[in-house]
Structure 1
């Protein structure tokens, strides 16, 4: 039997402010990364990177081939553009490393383990085993090349908020949910496994929608969950729970449309917000339209649970 040829991979590691993580993750997957994950850097472990509690690292793995140099140049050019556009971009750092390993295409998966993200919700990668207790609700996710595994604070806080709302507000008999920027589908699928009857997830990334649909099938919720490759502004169906784990900038841009979609006394979960953006978010998602039901925080990340006032339009 012939010996398997070692595969050659390029590892890119980028240190960046937390608010740029989602943009970086999307760009790296679009550039061809076969695995992407991120973590928060502790100041004492930051090595050559700037020592700051709001600096995170994102690692991406690319197959080494004829496009390797072009990918590196594309990523560096993108980082340079971020440095020009965002004041926080000056802290961006890039490291690259060649890796030779016959199994590295699968090894990135070791970073995703089953985790309890709320009282009842366990998020489990499809390739990991887990023995649930009687109260556990297990959400299985194969991230493929999409973002959303429950590892990131903003995702965890959204899941906690979804569970809290659906399990506590018994006055709503039928949950109609909208997941904006669905990624892997983890948030919409979580809502469905908590008995939401009608879930729509949207994402402008075609690959993410394909992965989300596969994850819905894995979790046996594809009859009540519909993932669509379109802009959320094309959605006009009223919803009583809207989940938007985006960026502050996108949330502000979409505020009017999302508010229009949300029925009176419906809930909106907004996350992907860092502390420095909370003032603008609170001013725009104001008391005139919403009652602030709950605020969840984890490190520099903030998640708001809002309830639409009955007199709002």
Structure 2
């Protein structure tokens, strides 16, 4: 299981396996709130909808585990998790997915001591208007005092002080609707107006996804801004979004990992999985300048202690945590 309260060793061992395999891609992780999609579903496609009823307190945990284990996007409701897969041959559900899903449900029940999820329902899905359906729900969103996140196809009635970021997520993570992205956006805005002298400094966005955090940094007045992601699809999405945001034309976007970047930055932000953050602690801490700040998100509350300890061991001073629902952001400094 990817989430175990206080299980620092397990977090690190799991993340190490990902790192050794050269894959800490965001493209297979948790998607945005109720905007978890596979946009290549078309009318007449032979797709299956898998629905898993469960208690409300199980939803986020279960969705995280399915997204992480199966490498697919998921949707959540108050008492249900669901996802879509292609039908293979005449099988109602791919046997490999069926086996892995059964193991996930059993482990979730045992770990949480919950009565649910007991099972799941599979039904055919035609995908008549997949793109239109998720676009209907993706509306402009205000985050913090000045940031407005808007889809590329929506008109925005912006105020003079607003900083508007145009986003078409494609297959990448980052529309601002998930708690972890909002935490990072608000933190960046706070750094931009802080008295610590970091305004105008350099910014490193690790796991940039759609580029949303990098673009926010540029609009908030950071100097050099670099965003990286190991997922080529995510980088393509970020590059397309950069074209939609002319004021962010100077943002650098690369396909790669932290190990590919040698310089240090005044501010570093990483919104990725907790187990990966724990494994990357040494490399990521090395990218923080002196003085400098680091923000980590993508962390469930029960994972915070393990991640915090991993970075304190690298000589960073813990500053604070910010919370939004079941998720948190951990902030550190280097003097």
TM-score per shorter chain, which class?
0.7 to 0.9
1:68-98 Cα distance to aligned partner (Å, 9 max, x none): 9698555445535656887759966654443
Q: CA RMSD in A?
A: 3.3
1:136 aligns with 2:162: yes
C-alpha contact (below 8 Å) 1:19/1:274 kept by paired residues = no
Please give the residue correspondences for 1:143-292 in structure 2 after superposition, counting only pairs within 5 Å: 143-169=169-195, 171-172=197-198, 174-286=200-312, 289-292=315-318
Would you say how many aligned residue pairs link Structure 1 and Structure 2? 285
Match of 1:18 in 2: 60
* Partner Cα separation in structure 1 for residue 298 and residue 248 of structure 2: 26
Q: How far off its partner does 1:167 sit?
A: 2.2
**Which protein, 1 or 2, shows the higher relative CO under an 8 Å CA cutoff with sep ≥ 6?**
2
1:253-276 Cα distance to aligned partner (Å, 9 max, x none): 111111111111211110111111
Q: Tell me, which stretches of 5 or more residues in structure 1 are unaligned?
A: 50-56
1:94-113 Cα distance to aligned partner (Å, 9 max, x none): 54443446533322211211
SS of 2:294's equivalent?
A: strand
With 277-286 and 244-253 compared, the bigger mean Cα shift is at: 277-286
Q: How far off its partner does 1:246 sit?
A: 1.2
* Partner Cα separation in structure 2 for residue 68 and residue 125 of structure 1: 39
* Partner Cα separation in structure 2 for residue 217 and residue 95 of structure 1: 42
SS of 1:285's equivalent?
A: helix
1:298 aligns with 2:320: no
SS of 1:168's equivalent?
A: coil
* Partner Cα separation in structure 2 for residue 67 and residue 170 of structure 1: 60
Q: How far off its partner does 1:280 sit?
A: 1.4
* Partner Cα separation in structure 1 for residue 332 and residue 266 of structure 2: 11
Match of 1:53 in 2: none
Match of 2:12 in 1: none
Q: Tell me, which stretches of 5 or more residues in structure 2 are unaligned?
A: 1-41
* Partner Cα separation in structure 2 for residue 122 and residue 268 of structure 1: 23
Q: Sort the Cα spacing of 1:237 and 1:13 in 2 relative to 1 into closer, same or farther, 3 A.
A: farther
Q: Sort the Cα spacing of 1:22 and 1:220 in 2 relative to 1 into closer, same or farther, 3 A.
A: farther
C-alpha contact (below 8 Å) 2:218/2:248 kept by paired residues = no
* Partner Cα separation in structure 1 for residue 153 and residue 182 of structure 2: 20
* Partner Cα separation in structure 1 for residue 291 and residue 90 of structure 2: 51
SS of 2:331's equivalent?
A: strand
Match of 2:101 in 1: 79
* Partner Cα separation in structure 2 for residue 262 and residue 227 of structure 1: 19
* Partner Cα separation in structure 2 for residue 102 and residue 257 of structure 1: 45
With 215-224 and 123-132 compared, the bigger mean Cα shift is at: 215-224
More strand per residue: 1 or 2? 1
